Structure 1
């Protein structure tokens, strides 16, 4: 088993006034040659967006883009004709495929928006762009890992063009479980959203992460009430 701990304070940071960003991987003006990607996981941005501000219309192609609001309300528009709001408790995915344009704004004029945006390299190029959004209330379970993303369109959560699985958990202090790899050869990138978690004999605090490869199963233990995201991804991109 190979592990790398990424402490919250070691992430790349940027403050644009309207946007305060934390970068787990090289992005925009932040470049760290040791943090360019983890397998097919290319981007994990922890963004705080000021009220009534956001990203103007911009293009993407050949990327699987997953957005998980942690607080606040995201307003989304795209060239596929979607206009929607995505809130805490929901997850959105776009397969950019052969090309899309979209904009993202804080949908509130008074409250900040905090979200994770995740990009994965796809396993198919130039597919037809697609959009999907679900409420996590349909899958969420207290003190259990629940799946929010997979490669399968008939499975729980959203689906993408990649052999990746995302799971989340909202756990009480003392909760323990065993996480088993979803596919041989995959690695996991685990982010503690809130609280404290022990994994691979390592204590992780809020926004700390651990990248693990060459494993089959892991013991997880919540030291305090905890909220976690596990991204199980192919290591070859």
Structure 2
């Protein structure tokens, strides 16, 4: 069964410096029917204006993954980490027992467009940590590239949860396929462009819960970028 979550049904707030859309309940947006899906707790699509960002704030007991779609995002945290995240790079932060960080758009002219994803960890009280991995453009093009996993397989960033996250950039007319093992579920988020998921049309910002389907086929109707979650 495929359950579509249309882009327009998401929570939406425009603060001027930040335009943000929430697939699941977050902050001032609350929808009891969209609290989480398995261990997937948050997908926020954020656009931050040049020179703006999120000041230092804290998190606990959450696996936080950032995936930049365009522009650059600068990160600093209480571990002493300082990095800049660009398209094709996965950044993960285990908040664990507590971490504080800030995120800013360092550009003076270009907005940054990114997804921030929260995964519930397998256990509380983990040691905070940070990791960032860059993936080649070729490895993302017209194939599902593993970017996050519980065992850091194939050069992916590590998650402390039984979740595997794949990214793909698809040319128009190309498709990717994946099997979903029995007892697991899938979730697809369309970051850019338009696709069909097992024949169901999806546009940018749309998402879909995938349950009881042994496999999926994602076909691009226009140049597209998608994230696929394989969930226990």
Counterpart for residue 230 of structure 2: 232
Counterpart for residue 82 of structure 1: 81
Deviation at 1:223, TM superposition (A): 2.2
Deviation at 1:205, TM superposition (A): 1.3
Counterpart for residue 163 of structure 2: 164
Q: What 5-or-longer segments of structure 1 have no aligned partner? A: none
Equivalences for residues 7-46 of structure 1 within 5 A: 7-46=6-45
Name the CA distance, whole Å, in 2 between partners of 1:81 and 1:130.
10
Counterpart for residue 5 of structure 1: 4
Q: What is the alpha-carbon root mean square deviation over aligned residues? A: 1.5
Name the CA distance, whole Å, in 2 between partners of 1:139 and 1:160.
24
Judged with a 3 Å threshold, the aligned counterparts in structure 2 of structure 1 residues 154 and 192 are, in CA distance, closer, same or farther, namely closer
* Structure 1 position 204 matched with structure 2 position 202: yes
Name the CA distance, whole Å, in 2 between partners of 1:69 and 1:125.
27
Counterpart for residue 144 of structure 1: 143
Counterpart for residue 102 of structure 1: 101
Name the CA distance, whole Å, in 1 between partners of 2:15 and 2:137.
36
Match of 2:136, SS state, is helix
CA contact (8 A) 1:67 1:115 kept: yes
Judged with a 3 Å threshold, the aligned counterparts in structure 2 of structure 1 residues 52 and 177 are, in CA distance, closer, same or farther, namely closer
Counterpart for residue 179 of structure 1: 178
Name the CA distance, whole Å, in 2 between partners of 1:17 and 1:177.
37
Name the CA distance, whole Å, in 2 between partners of 1:205 and 1:64.
27
Name the CA distance, whole Å, in 2 between partners of 1:52 and 1:145.
33
Name the CA distance, whole Å, in 1 between partners of 2:214 and 2:94.
29
